[in-house]
Amino acid sequence: MKHNIGTTDKTIRVIVALTLATLYFTNAVTGNLGIFLLAFAIVLLITVSINFCPMYTPWGINTCKKKFTH
């Protein structure tokens, strides 16, 4: 799996994920929408942890400036 998420992209994803999780856990957003947003936050954190976003692949998007050899 080739890394395609850069530092700025990671920072934005973490901020958005934490914001969505905060909205859910403070009951600002509830019901199905709350569950959907929490799931989306989890997906964002997973993509940050593996440095890869599968949605970037079809369009050839790569925000990672470093070249990795593995």
pLDDT tens string 6-44: 999 999 999 999 999 999 999 999 999 999 999 999 999
Distance CA 40, CA 17 (A): 8
User: Quick check: 4 pLDDT over 80?
Assistant: yes
Q: Cβ distance 68 to 6 under 8 Å?
A: no
The DSSP secondary-structure symbol of 54 reads T
User: Quick check: 68 pLDDT over 70?
Assistant: no
Residue at 24: amino acid letter: Y
Res 1: pLDDT: 78
Distance CA 5, CA 9 (A): 6
Res 2: pLDDT: 86
Could you count the other beta carbons within 10 Å of the beta carbon of residue 27?
A: 8
